[in-house]
Structure 1
Amino acid sequence: MTSSLPGSCCYQGVKHEGVAKGELSKVGDFEVYTVHPAERVEKGILILTDIIGHKFINVQLIADQLAANGYFVMIPDLFDGDPVPLNLPGSFDIPAWHTGKYHPAGTAHLPPNVGPIVDASIAEMRTKYGCKAIGAIGHCFGAKYVARYLRPDIGKIDAGFIAHPSYVTEEELRAIKGPLAIAAAEIDAIFPAEERHASEAILKENGFPYQVTLFSGVAHGFAVRGDLSNRAVKYAKETTFIQCLQWFGEYL
């Protein structure tokens, strides 16, 4: 694998302060958070979240900032109402959660169930919202689906940006067909140095534009759930956002 399965670090972090500007609605039978820029545009960004999900204020504030910079943004509920709460006390069985143990209907959070949500979100962005180009941001869990759907050749995602990825396989990374950037943490058992270097080698072989940025002094989750009172984390989070804008400005 190029990044390992999610662990306890994937639901720990700091809740940020702010008031979301977007709205919640439905696409088919799942909920989405959407936010519009001041003027109508033909470029959109799909945010595929970590396991905290689409209602987490931190990711909604990121979406709002992207909209303020001229993009239509959508964040789908990838988990059918079954996200993992922030900072759960004690131990939590992530593999069991993946296979649907905690979901009321036993719905697993695996590609057969998550994939159709991503497909429907892309279709909604292209049809209802008129997005002719779509970039995707994947945080942790969501990185896997950025890799799986980075296929501009078949009308899926045109450019991707992932931060502290988890659960991405070598086969998925080899199969991408478009530009991909990665923001990585120095302290990350899910995406350690050896897997980061393996990913770099694959991206080089693929031949598409890529960028890998490593931030020192920060841990897994910094781009969404980091403690902003920590100067290194604040710098890494803000720089990652600026790099997102630069990346999509170049490749969308």
Structure 2
Amino acid sequence: MASNTISTCCYQGFKHEGEPRGKLEAIGNTETYIIEPTTPNGFGLLVLTDILGHKFINAQLIADQFAANGYTVVMPDLFHGDPVPLDADMASFSLPDWMSGKFGARQVPHVPETIDPIIQESVKYLKEKYNFEKIAAVGYCFGAKYVVRGLGSHSFQVGYVAHPAMVSTEELEAIKWPLAIAAAEVDDIFPVNLRHDSEAILLKTGVPYQLNLYSGVNHGFAVRCNLSDKRQRYAKNSAFLLALQWFDEILD
């Protein structure tokens, strides 16, 4: 594996404050958070969330930030109405059971066979409604796996991920488009050895890549950090700017 499977650190953290500006619409059968920029830059952006899903306010505020920088953003519900609650009760909640779809009303498992079609439909929507020739993708934690998969299947022209989870070695080896990674110093999902392994794999692919490491932060910092902590706030903001700078460099 290029990164380990999800764990309790993937649904713990801090809820942020703000008023989301986007709207919830259906793309096919999938509820999706969509926000259009005031001044479009000509590029579409697909945001693939962590396991807290597309209705989590932190994710919506991040999507709004990308729109404020010119991107037309779609952020689909990857989980068929079955996200993991923030700070879920570990005494009664099981991630393996959640992955199998046990807790969802539709009992849909959260695996590539059910998630890849959602992503393909979102890409099609961006291309057909807005006529975008180039699409970027952002993935946090769980969503990072599907950014990497999309970079191997030519779904996106550039990708950015933060504290990735569940990415297989084979998926990372298969990428054909540039990838940037924001990594946490303390991260059992993307620890030092797997980070170094990923660097070696990326070097072999021959595609442009970048990996930034942020000290003093844990897995999930780019979405769920404590904003009252100066170091964590800096790392979150810096990781967001990394995404913007990376996209500007590759998409221009």
Please indicate, yes or no, whether the TM-score normalized by the shorter chain is above 0.5: yes
Task: Give the corresponding residue for 1:96.
Answer: 97
Q: Is the 8 A contact 1:23 1:33 kept in 2?
A: yes
Look up the SS of the partner of 2:101 in the other structure: coil
User: Do structure 1's residue 236 and structure 2's residue 235 form an aligned pair?
Assistant: yes
Show CA shifts across 1:46-83 (max 9, x none). Answer: 00000000001111111111111111011000000000
Task: Give the corresponding residue for 1:140.
Answer: 141
Aligned residues, how many? 250
Task: Give the corresponding residue for 1:163.
Answer: 162
TM-score of the superposed pair, with normalisation by structure 1: 0.97
Task: Give the corresponding residue for 1:83.
Answer: 83
Task: Give the corresponding residue for 2:250.
Answer: 251
- Which segment is superposed worse, 196-205 or 81-90? 81-90
List alignment gaps of at least 5 residues for structure 2: none
CA distance in 1, matches of 2:19, 2:106: 32
Q: Runs (4+) of structure 1 moved beyond 4 Å?
A: none
Residue 105 of structure 1: how far off its partner (Å): 2.3
Show CA shifts across 1:98-145 (max 9, x none). Answer: 111111222100000001000000000111122221110000000000
Residue 39 of structure 1: how far off its partner (Å): 2.8
CA distance in 1, matches of 2:174, 2:110: 21
- Which residue identity is paired with 1:104? A
- Which residue identity is paired with 1:233? Q
CA distance in 1, matches of 2:51, 2:103: 13
Task: Give the corresponding residue for 2:220.
Answer: 221
TM-score of the superposed pair, with normalisation by structure 2: 0.97
CA distance in 1, matches of 2:238, 2:220: 14
Residue 155 of structure 1: how far off its partner (Å): 4.8
CA distance in 2, matches of 1:132, 1:39: 18
User: Alpha carbons of 1:41 and 1:235: their partners in 2 closer, same or farther (altered >3 Å)?
Assistant: closer
Q: Is the 8 A contact 2:10 2:220 kept in 1?
A: yes
- Which residue identity is paired with 2:205? N
- What percentage of aligned pairs have identical amino acids? 52
Q: Is the 8 A contact 1:147 1:173 kept in 2?
A: yes
- Which residue identity is paired with 1:98? M
Show CA shifts across 1:188-209 (max 9, x none). Answer: 0010000000000000000000
Q: Is the 8 A contact 1:54 1:76 kept in 2?
A: yes
Residue 93 of structure 1: how far off its partner (Å): 1.1
- Which residue identity is paired with 1:125? L
CA distance in 2, matches of 1:156, 1:164: 21
List alignment gaps of at least 5 residues for structure 1: none
- Which residue identity is paired with 2:67? A
Q: Is the 8 A contact 2:154 2:176 kept in 1?
A: no
CA RMSD, aligned part only?
A: 1.0
